[in-house]
Amino acid sequence: MPAVKPTPAAPALAFALVALVAASAGGSQHLQRRQERTLKHESEMIRIPAGQFIMGADDEEVADFQKTCEQEFGADLAQFVCVLERWKDFGTGSSARVVFLSTFEIDRHEVTTAQYRECVAHGPCDMRPLVAGDARYAVDEWPMVNVTWDDAATYCAWRGKRLPSEAEWEKAARGGDGRRWPWGNFDRKDGANLGRVEPEIERPASNQGVGFAIDDSDGFRELSPPGSLPFGRSPYGVQDMAGNAAEWVADWYDENGYAAQTTVDPTGAKSGHLRVTRGGSFYEPRFFARTYYRNAELPTERSITRGMRCAR
């Protein structure tokens, strides 16, 4: 009986290898496309060059700040509120000083709700900011608000970034010439999406304190898509560093001011009770949005007025 010739294995093996390579390439392309979809909304970053800048408010600026505070709050409240604002470090960062920062990058725009949703869908971000509180502010085109400090830090880490230090935020906002506003030393309505002090006549009889109110004279009743007010950009081209959403920064709030901090790449206190926020919001009066003005909040607190941007 003639011997049965074995079926050649090489063509089949070659075909299998080709199929495997094709499948691998297809899988790689699919993964790449998926990654591109995941990261397609990542914010553009602005490079801030190394160098010195003026951080905080000098005596002349504090006097102007005081005057503006009195104008915004009115004569009745100014005697109680504005004197405190003038002297407390909470508001002005104590005296001005020259600080040196190494080169860093910062997001051109505030993080949007759509960008945060990507982190919820593909990463470690908590979905509670999207569903807890007032859902009317969870608009994809608007800044992501209602985030705790940890929510903001987690999002930035997922992007391979971090929250900016307080010093980095201030330099990106005011440049190297110590300006009061991101756009210069004189206020302008079309520079920032801000609120106002609620006139006494509008306050409920039960509210004897200070109230804030929405001001739509800048073109937006509440939040606005980042970059909507291009005349408000900083000297480096960073948008919305005055108004829209106030922003968490990395630093703990130090009740002793800047005095104990280094003047080279300062990072704030090592621990604390409150975290610093910067920039003011659509619901807060105009002096909150000056480049040096500081505020601080419990890091676990959520608010429709507070969001974030990232740095690296």
3-22 pLDDT tens trace:
444 444 444 444 343 344 34
CB-based contacts of 207, cutoff 8 Å, min separation 6: none
- Nearest 5°: the CA angle 95, 98, 104 is 125
Tokens in use for 264? 């080279």
Sign of CA dihedral 302, 304, 306, 307: positive
Residue 17 burial class via C-beta count within 10 angstroms: exposed 0-12, middle 13-18, buried 19 and up: exposed
Q: What pLDDT sits at residue 207? A: 53
pLDDT above 70: residue 248: yes
Question: Mind listing the domains of the chain with CATH numbers?
Answer: 45-307 (3.90.1580.10)
Residue 103 burial class via C-beta count within 10 angstroms: exposed 0-12, middle 13-18, buried 19 and up: exposed
Helices (H) and strands (E) in the chain, counts: 8, 10
DSSP code at position 214:
-
pLDDT above 80: residue 253: yes
pTM of the predicted structure, to 2 decimals? 0.82
Report how far residue 295's alpha carbon sits from residue 248's, in angstroms, rounded to the nearest whole number.
Answer: 10
51-100 pLDDT tens trace:
999 998 888 888 887 788 778 777 666 666 665 544 445 566 667 889 99
